Amino acid sequence: MPKPHRPYRVIISGGGTGGHIYPAVAIANQLKAISPESEILFVGAKGRMEMTRVPEAGYKIVGLWISGLQRRLTLDNLSFPFKVLSSVRAAHKIIHDFKPDAVVGVGGYASGPLLYAATARKIPALIQEQNSYAGITNKLLAKRVGKVCVAYPNMQRFFPAEKLVLTGNPVRSDIMGVQQKRQEALQHFGLIGTKKTILVIGGSLGARTINHSIAAGLEQILQAGYQLIWQTGKAYIPEAKALEEKHNAQDVRAFDFIKRMDLAYAAADVVISRAGALSISELCLAGKPAVLVPSPNVAEDHQTKNAMALVAQHAALLVRDVEAVEKLVPTALQLAQDEQEQKRLQANILKMGRPNAAEDIVNELIKLIK
């Protein structure tokens, strides 16, 4: 029988996209699972999606006045130094009031000021880096923290080797065991069990190229007799709904955001997705045959590197962003028709999953506290 843990006080900071938020929530949930009396406070950036997603997951969040540097000269850039100073000051007050045993940074704007303030006060700190190419905030903070938990090997290019722990990316626990939820999923989305389903996800904020490619090939998908679950992001949902109406499509379910991603994966026979670190970690655990379309608009093209790690193991297919309008729908339809290929991709992608990532990260955090 494992010894029960004492309650811990932990601040988890970061956000901006689902790729930062959901690993953060998974870490919080794991800490609560082993120490239910623990107090967890999230710190995010005002106006970013964590300010709604974290409370929906049942945790309290405080917002800092912080944003990223734009690549061109903007008013936001001129105010950036003031935002940093204001956020560091606010972070010191949060730490003084909450008195954490440790802090966790998951990347994103808010983790910089918070971890800077915490490490200045000698509070144990840990970073979780989701991508194969490290974010600038995490690279700057690495010298100040005790441990850096990573999802990919060979990350000593970015971080001190002695601080690295290969844990994988934590994902929501409901993604595990999606194989048992197919009936519930079909009911939830109002889909027909005898038809195959293609799931399209462009990340939590949507993906323009993927949306345009699906719009261009929607008639092909429907004529081939497939159903579609389509997460478009906020910007594209009016166009997707108009297309639904135009085709009088009983087989299209378009959403700006899908809260029950476990059921979306459970319903899917084939997934079309960006190659963000979180999406890939979820696909590995859900064990779904996937066509990946890496976003070209990320630092050092890290989504292509994430995707190639799977393609090299014959665990996913890849369509480049510039070729997506022409090739994405035909590639997905070909995969949906080829059950042998689906089985092969499924078997290989499942081998790449790391189901204990949240547990391993929390164990490292507790070692730092002790």
Residue numbers in the known binding site for UDP-N-acetyl-alpha-D-glucosamine are 17-19, 131, 172, 204, 258, 303
Name the binding residues: 17-19, 131, 172, 204, 258, 303
- Rounded CA separation 138/144 (Å): 10
- Rounded CA separation 322/330 (Å): 15
Please report how the helices 18-34 and 357-369 are oriented relative to each other, as an axis angle in degrees rounded to 10: 70
- Rounded CA separation 308/302 (Å): 10
Q: Which of 5, 11, 4, 22 is nearest to 204 (CA)?
A: 22
Q: Which residues partner with 318 through β-bridges?
A: 292
- Rounded CA separation 192/355 (Å): 30
Residue 115: C-alpha distances to residues 64, 82, 162, 300 (Å): 13, 18, 19, 24
- Rounded CA separation 291/323 (Å): 13
Please report how the helices 302-311 and 277-286 are oriented relative to each other, as an axis angle in degrees rounded to 10: 20
- Rounded CA separation 231/221 (Å): 16
Q: What angle do CA 86, 147, 305 make, to 5 degrees?
A: 90
* Conformational region of residue 69, where left means phi above 0, alpha means psi within -120 to 50, and beta covers everything else: beta
Strand 290-292 relative to strand 270-273: parallel, antiparallel, unpaired? parallel
